[in-house]
Amino acid sequence: MKFISIRLAFFVVLFLRLNAVCGQAVLQVGKVISTSVDQNAVQIKTQNAFIEITPYSPNIIRFRMDKKPLKKDFSYAVVAKREMIKANISQGINEIKISTAAVNCVIQKDPFSVAIYTKDGKVINEDANGLSTSWADNSVTTYKKMQPGERFIGLGEKSGNLDRKGSAYTNWNTDAVGYNNGTDPLYSDVPFFIGLHDHLSYGIFLDNTYQTDFNFGASNDIFSSFGARGGEMNYYFIYDNSVAKIITDYTWLTGTMKLPPLWSLGYQQSKWSYFPDTMVLRVANELRSKHFPADGMVLDIDYMDKYQLFTWNKKYFPHPLKMTDSLRKLGFRTTVIVDPGIKIAPDAPAYKKGLKEDVYLKYPNGQYYSGQVWPGWCNFVDFTSEKGRKYWRSQMNFFAKNGVSGVWNDMNEISTWGQSTPNNILYNYDGRGANNLEGHNVFALNMVRSSYEGMKQVTGVRPFILSRSGYAGLQRYSAIWTGDNQPTDDHMLLGVRMLNSMGLSGLAFTGMDISGFLGDATPALFTRWMQIGAFMPYCRNHKITGAKPAEPWCYGENALNNSRSYIELRYHLLPYLYSIFYEATQDGLPINRSLAIDYSYQENIYKEDFQNQYLFGENIMVAPFKSTDTSGKIYLPKGDNWYDLYTDKEFEGGQVTDAKLTLDRLPLYIKAGSVIPMQSLVQSTAEMPTDTLVVQVYNGNKSSSFTYYEDDGESYKYQKGDFYKRVIKFNPADKTIEFSKVDGTFASKFKYVKILFHGSKDTQLKLHQQYFSAIPYMVSSESEAGTIAVKSIVTANVEKAFSVKY
């Protein structure tokens, strides 16, 4: 009997222990045990976590949580310092309250949970009841209650619909060749999304470089969640009164883009691969002879000697500087591809230098990590170390001395044959140390940082940097494109949504391979894609080796003529385009603007029929359709009237129009009240337009303005005030157009302004008296007005002004 009792006691203890272990399979934050409160932050110790909550700005509150004491703060993404704001922080027996000028944050103590309210008491965001934040092994996840009708947008480069609700996503930078509308993860990682409900909007940025996971109500109807496979729960909660302002707040945190060189806004011709050098020059000359505006020739991997970095294939490119000089004389700049793998070649100068400076990623035993890519077995620079970045910066001189203006960073997820980098690769992580689980997602960000800083250092002018991969903050250094896409109509429209999603996530300079990289496009698809491409930030036509050539004349005379017309329209619009790029450097707002930015709460914009529509800048709405569509529906957002660009017909906003579609015209609409500056046609940005700036003004019922901006398009002199900026205001109430006083010291390339007025037959339109003489409509006297004279105000002959050929 005694033996049975002992056995029974043993099994009872075992059962209790197993139950305890099972109970800890998910570790909750638990009850608040102690707090330390001052005017700058709240330090909290709970049963199972260490927490810090910091009012970062009036609109941003930061949350940090871990199972162990928090480490010293560090981020590759966040560049903004915390503002020293006055926040009211108080606590009672059951809760802690943090009040800023924008929000009230209430932290319940038993158990710990967070809720954030507007100043008038409306719930913006709150933890899911009883769930809050928890750990499953090393993975940490925060669960939020889904509000009625809540939508989720953004999250960077993601497939799927504009509204992410009902879907789940993973961030782990991946070479996703040939991806489709359901593929996830993709090439880059921006763990930032925006939530919308009840005419309230907020953003959450999860700054954690481990693999992160987001669930927007997939497989459940209770919560949305975000988490990471390691590290802290470290997120920034952003509240503002519009989606646009949330994007501006986010890019205040992570930085805005730098002004790109003007030539990078022109059309770029690319192929895997143009070689030898005579072919490169032949294509460039053909573009000129066919009067097809273009600014860039792009060289893929075959310019290298056996795909080895920092080499030229001497057979195909015996005199690279001579070639790039010849291209520059034709008005072209040269961009070349680079991959991160340095071929293991003991006699190669670049490889030897890397060995000497000990810059490569390693295993724990000190052996360099090697992976196989285009040149064979390679070592990879540890871009998370300063010595690795310094090494790479020095290698950029190889390109600068050969006349290269742009560096295209490819394969930087890291991509290797086998597509599985081992977890035990060690990263320096700027002295903090990390393995591949933490370092993988920031490899590309630090690569393009090094490329940008190196090219800037060795050339002294603005470089163009392009990347396939990245992390939050990428916009500070590089443009990004959507990788290896397919030549289909569905993929074209998927690409539009992906660019718009990246724009919602702080990435303003984006593009996709026009006509689809992985194979042949039909002439109709090529035509439609070129039309859409004319209204993308980065406009590059690119094809895989073995596919039909990428040049516009290879798709027939009709495709050539129509494509040329739309690229010509892009070049006419360069004053508008460059100005909105300038605005992106100031407020972080994208060039391609999802309608969710300006019309966030209109149900129609999230519908499948309309979710591809977007604004190019604030004023031009693009309605993409498949090349095979002969009819379609277009939603004209409520709150503004819209003009058909081709006919000047005005439509009231808030309606769905039935459109008859033809391949010769991409549906384009201009927002009423718009001010759109244009120039004469040039064949490249190296060519000066004529001396007259044409300002298109579209009548409306609301006052509007446009910030016009110029500089030399190449140097950093604008940072010292050498720019030309003025605000053009249109007030329909008193029928005035006002040009503000010039800001900056740069001399405009234009001497005259010609105003084309749309949508009114009123002959009393006048210029504001302050800086221009009042000139009656249709009078073409050239009265001086500071540095620019008014040449004329005329009605627009729209068919002539915006002609297209097919």
The number of helices, as runs of H, and strands, as runs of E, in the chain is 15, 49
User: What is the C-alpha to C-alpha distance for residues 114 and 111, in angstroms, rounded to an integer?
Assistant: 10
**What type of residue sits at position 162?**
L
List, for residues 262-313, the tens digit of each pLDDT value.
999 999 999 999 999 999 999 999 999 999 999 999 999 999 999 999 999 9
User: What is the C-alpha to C-alpha distance for residues 379 and 368, in angstroms, rounded to an integer?
Assistant: 7
Q: Which pTM was predicted?
A: 0.93
pLDDT at residue 761, as a whole number: 60
| Residues forming beta bridges with residue 793, ordered by sequence position | 755
Instruction: Tell me the torsion sign for CA atoms 589, 590, 596, 599.
Output: positive
User: What is the C-alpha to C-alpha distance for residues 231 and 453, in angstroms, rounded to an integer?
Assistant: 29
Which residue out of 277, 295, 305, 410 is catalytically annotated? Answer: 410
Rg, C-alpha atoms of the chain:
28
SS3 state at 796? coil
* CA 454 vs CA 145, 190, 459, 767: distances in Å: 46, 24, 8, 47
pLDDT at residue 11, as a whole number: 42
DSSP classification of residue 674? -
Structure tokens at 368: 């360099």
| Residues forming beta bridges with residue 305, ordered by sequence position | 308
Q: Which residues contact 731 (CB under 8 A, 6 or more apart)?
A: 703, 737, 738
Peptide bond into 261 cis (omega under 30): no
Which residue out of 157, 232, 295, 484 is catalytically annotated? Answer: 484
pLDDT at residue 86, as a whole number: 86
Are 148 and 138 within 8 A, CB to CB? no
User: What is the C-alpha to C-alpha distance for residues 544 and 776, in angstroms, rounded to an integer?
Assistant: 56
pLDDT at residue 549, as a whole number: 87
Q: Is 413 a catalytic residue?
A: yes
User: What is the C-alpha to C-alpha distance for residues 513 and 635, in angstroms, rounded to an integer?
Assistant: 27
pLDDT at residue 766, as a whole number: 52
Q: Which residues contact 420 (CB under 8 A, 6 or more apart)?
A: none
pLDDT at residue 780, as a whole number: 26
Q: Is 410 a catalytic residue?
A: yes
Structure tokens at 151: 């939508």
Are 645 and 670 within 8 A, CB to CB? yes
Are 525 and 490 within 8 A, CB to CB? no
Which residue out of 175, 413, 568, 618 is catalytically annotated? Answer: 413
| Residues forming beta bridges with residue 202, ordered by sequence position | 195, 239
Which stretches of 116-193 are DSSP H helices?
Answer: none
Q: Which of 592, 520, 534, 522 is nearest to 563 (CA)?
A: 534
User: What is the C-alpha to C-alpha distance for residues 505 and 499, in angstroms, rounded to an integer?
Assistant: 10
How long is the chain?
Answer: 806
User: What is the C-alpha to C-alpha distance for residues 544 and 656, in angstroms, rounded to an integer?
Assistant: 39
DSSP classification of residue 368? B
**What type of residue sits at position 310?**
F
User: What is the C-alpha to C-alpha distance for residues 22 and 30, in angstroms, rounded to an integer?
Assistant: 16
pLDDT at residue 38, as a whole number: 82
* CA 59 vs CA 40, 151, 202, 248, 394: distances in Å: 15, 20, 10, 11, 41
Angle, helix 277-289 to helix 320-329, in steps of 10 degrees: 0
DSSP classification of residue 381? B
List, as own/partner pairs, every contact residues 636-642 make where C-beta atoms lie below 8 angstroms and the sequence separation is at least 24, other chains included: 636/669, 637/595, 637/598, 637/599, 637/602, 637/604, 637/605, 638/599, 638/602, 639/599, 640/671, 640/672, 640/673, 640/700, 640/702, 641/671, 641/672, 641/700, 641/701, 642/669, 642/670, 642/671, 642/672
Q: Which of 446, 752, 796 is nearest to 644 (CA)?
A: 796
Are 471 and 189 within 8 A, CB to CB? yes
User: What is the C-alpha to C-alpha distance for residues 28 and 113, in angstroms, rounded to an integer?
Assistant: 11
**What type of residue sits at position 774?**
A
Q: Which of 329, 357, 352 is nearest to 342 (CA)?
A: 352
Q: Is 603 exposed, middle or buried (0-12, 13-18, 19+ CB in 10 A)?
A: exposed
User: What is the C-alpha to C-alpha distance for residues 748 and 737, in angstroms, rounded to an integer?
Assistant: 19
Q: Which of 649, 160, 158 is nearest to 634 (CA)?
A: 649
User: What is the C-alpha to C-alpha distance for residues 468 and 173, in angstroms, rounded to an integer?
Assistant: 10
The H or E element spanning position 268 is strand 268-271
CB-hemisphere CA count at 13 Å for 7? 4
Task: Spell out the SS3 assignment of 446-503.
Answer: HHHHHHHHHHHHHHCCCCEEEECCCECCHHHCCEEECCCCCCCHHHHHHHHHHHHHHH
DSSP classification of residue 360? B
Instruction: Tell me the torsion sign for CA atoms 536, 540, 544, 548.
Output: positive
Are 184 and 171 within 8 A, CB to CB? no
pLDDT at residue 40, as a whole number: 84
Instruction: Tell me the torsion sign for CA atoms 412, 480, 472, 603.
Output: negative
Residue 699: φ, ψ to 5°: -60, 145
| Residues forming beta bridges with residue 436, ordered by sequence position | none
The H or E element spanning position 657 is strand 655-660
CA–CA–CA angle 527, 531, 535 (5° rounding)? 155
pLDDT at residue 778, as a whole number: 24
Q: Which residues contact 532 (CB under 8 A, 6 or more apart)?
A: 492, 496, 514, 622, 624, 666
Q: Is 609 a catalytic residue?
A: no
The sheet with strand 789-795 has its strands ordered as 675-678, 692-698, 752-758, 789-795
Place of tokens 């071929």: 343
Span between the terminal Cα atoms of the chain, in Å: 99
**What type of residue sits at position 338?**
V
CA–CA–CA angle 490, 493, 498 (5° rounding)? 120
CB-hemisphere CA count at 13 Å for 203? 31
Residues of the chain scoring pLDDT < 50: 1-23, 763-764, 767-790, 792-806
Structure tokens at 293: 């505006």
pLDDT at residue 760, as a whole number: 72
